[in-house]
Structures are given as structure tokens and as C-alpha cells.
Amino acid sequence: MTTPDWRDLGLTGLLSSADSVLIPLHVSPDGDSVGSALAMAAACRHLGSRATVVSSDPPPETYRFLAGWEDIRRPEDLSPPFDLLLLLDCSSLSRTGRVRELFDTSGLPLVVTIDHHRKGERIGDYVWVDPAAAATAEMVFDWISDAGLPLEADVASALYTGIATDTGFFAYPNASAGTFDRAAALVRRGAVPDRIYRKISEDRPLQEIRILGRALEKLQVEAGGLLAWTALTREDMLEKAAGPDDTEGIVNRLRSIAANEVAILLVQTDSGHVKISFRSRKKVDVSELAGEFGGGGHARAAGATVAGNVDEVTREVLAAALSRLPQTEGDHRS
């Protein structure tokens, strides 16, 4: 996977030549998806193109503070043709969800892909992939800077949001010196770090805090602390008025417990299914564990959804997890 020089390949030329550019968010859009898309839409307008941002899923309320959020459209409100499809932060066309239904595959317009994910099935007349980038927003920032396009405070906020969220606010291993350089430049262009942090991390729904309380109240540890888990029943979810989105942060909180190696959250969903989230720190490959239950993911973060009752599923999952823990339980520090 090489990183082409867009100046040679003419990304600016491609975008300028398109009258109408469609920019999909990916499914379950995150801050990098939203921030990169809003920034590229602004850049397209500077190049004289009409850009439309579209989202298969409802655009997340968390990012409502970003300029342009209100203009994000749903696929059902749009009709082709578009001159150019700009895939940002999408490792494949299917990541655009229902947006791809706007086109039959033979009828795709010009396609440009800009992405930082390591693996994927990229399509495109122009494909720029840089797995060393912490966020697609870093790539967009570099291109806007090198292309000499205007970068207003609103765009700086969108790009800072993409970088900050994809690095866990500068806490993940992908936060590099270059990430901080870009953050500094974006702050100088008008991004306000504390405002963006507050918009994203505060103003949390009451039910999210309540269901976190219930989950931690029911927290169990096994194997001398190596395994931490909690399971939420349908009654827990109803009592706290919580939906699936409200439980997203819980498993990371379990993982933060000293001595923890594997953290597991089980949630009984509406549909008679149990959603399982796995995290690990150093030794256990939880993608293999999730694979036993028909799911998948990464070595340190994975998930699965299985049919059944949370109590039964919990027993099976705990047995599988315990069998994968390091044998030297007394010697788990490193």
C-alpha cells in the first residue's frame, strides 16, 4: 500500500472538475467520519463543486455543534446522478450502508477514496490510503494545507474533532508527534480544544450515566482480577431507560481496572439477542474469543451478537474467556 502524491495524481483537479460531489458518512458514523466529510465538503465548495454529505444512519447528535451538520442528508432524500463519489474513512463501499443503493455498481460515477484503515476492499479511480495517519482527518488536513485551500475556523473544528476522536483525545497509540503538530495548527486556525472536548465528552444522556452505574454495581471480577465482566438484563435496560448506544463506554471502564487483562460486557438487547463486547490489554486475542461466538474484531477490541438469554450466554462466554487467560495468574504484571 503506497501513499500517492495527490499533486501528481490530481485530486484537486478531479474534485474541481466535478459539478456535484456526494460524500457519504460511513455506517455508525464517528467523529472522524463526520469531521472529514464536513471539511471536504467545504473544500469542494472552494473548488467550485456542489458537495452533499449523506448518511445512511442518523447523523450522531454528538456532532451537531459542527458547522454543516444540519445539512447532512439521508439517502432517501437524494437521487443520482452525482459526478463524483468521495469515500472518506471507508474501508469498502459497503461501509456507506444504504448510500450504495443509490447506484448500481455498473453505474458508479468517478470514485475517490481517502482512508487510513490498514485493511479494506477499496474501489476508486483515485485511491489514497495511509495507515500511518491517525485519522482520515489528518490526511484531509494535509491535503487542504498543501492545496492551499482556505481553512476556516469551522473547518479547523471539524478536522480537530476527527483527529481528537480517532485518537481517544490523544490517548491511543496512533497519536504521533505529527498528530500534535496538526492539532497545534488547527488550534491556530480557530479550533477550541476545550469546547470540542466538552461537546463530545460532556452533555451525556442521563440514561447513559444511570446504566453505567447499574453495570458497575453488578461488576464481577474473576481469576484474581484478570477478568472483569458485567451483564445487563432487559430489566436493567428498561429500568434505566437505556438503549444500546448508552452502553458503549462501559467495557472500556472495566478494562481500566488494575490487573485487568480481559473485560467483557454483555447486554440483552430488545430482540432476544445478547450483544457481547470484549476488550483485552496485552495477551489475550479477543478477536479469537469473539470468533467463537460468531463475531470478530481486533486483538484488543472485538464483539459478537448471539441469540439467547443473557444469563445463559454469560456462562458460556465466561467459560470460554477463562480458558484463554494466561496460566501464570499470579504473575500477570509486566
Q: Which residues bind its own copies (CB under 8 A)?
A: 164, 168-173, 175-181, 183-185, 187-188, 193-194, 197-198, 201-206, 209-210, 212-219, 221, 225, 253-259
Cβ proximity to its own copies, 56 vs 174, nearer residue = 174
Cβ proximity to its own copies, 108 vs 221, nearer residue = 221
DSSP state of 90: -
Rounded to the nearest whole angstrom, what is the least distance from the CB of residue 210 to its own copies in the complex?
A: 6
Q: At what angle do helices 136-147 and 177-188 cross, to 10 degrees?
A: 60
Rounded to the nearest whole angstrom, what is the least distance from the CB of residue 223 to its own copies in the complex?
A: 13
Rounded to the nearest whole angstrom, what is the least distance from the CB of residue 147 to its own copies in the complex?
A: 22
Q: Taking a C-beta distance cutoff of 8 angstroms, is the pair 112, 12 a contact?
A: no
User: What's the grid cell of residue 261?
Assistant: 487483562
Rounded to the nearest whole angstrom, what is the least distance from the CB of residue 12 to its own copies in the complex?
A: 27
In Å, what is the CA distance from 258 to each residue of 94, 224, 276, 333?
39, 11, 22, 10
Rounded to the nearest whole angstrom, what is the least distance from the CB of residue 290 to its own copies in the complex?
A: 22
Return all residues near 230 (Cβ < 8 A) that are at least 6 apart.
Answer: 215, 216, 218, 219, 220, 250, 254, 264, 265, 266
Rounded to the nearest whole angstrom, what is the least distance from the CB of residue 144 to its own copies in the complex?
A: 18
User: What's the grid cell of residue 120?
Assistant: 479494506
Cβ proximity to its own copies, 47 vs 187, nearer residue = 187
Where in 1-95 does DSSP place strands (E)? 20-24, 50-54, 84-88
In Å, what is the CA distance from 38 to each residue of 33, 162, 213, 296, 326?
9, 10, 35, 30, 45
Cβ proximity to its own copies, 206 vs 307, nearer residue = 206
Cβ proximity to its own copies, 253 vs 324, nearer residue = 253
Q: ∠ CA(274), CA(277), CA(281), 5° rounding? A: 155
Side by side, the strands of the sheet bearing 50-54 are 50-54, 20-24, 84-88, 110-115, 126-129
Rounded to the nearest whole angstrom, what is the least distance from the CB of residue 219 to its own copies in the complex?
A: 6
Cβ proximity to its own copies, 222 vs 316, nearer residue = 222
Other residues' Cβ atoms within 10 Å of the Cβ of residue 307: 10
Cβ proximity to its own copies, 37 vs 200, nearer residue = 200
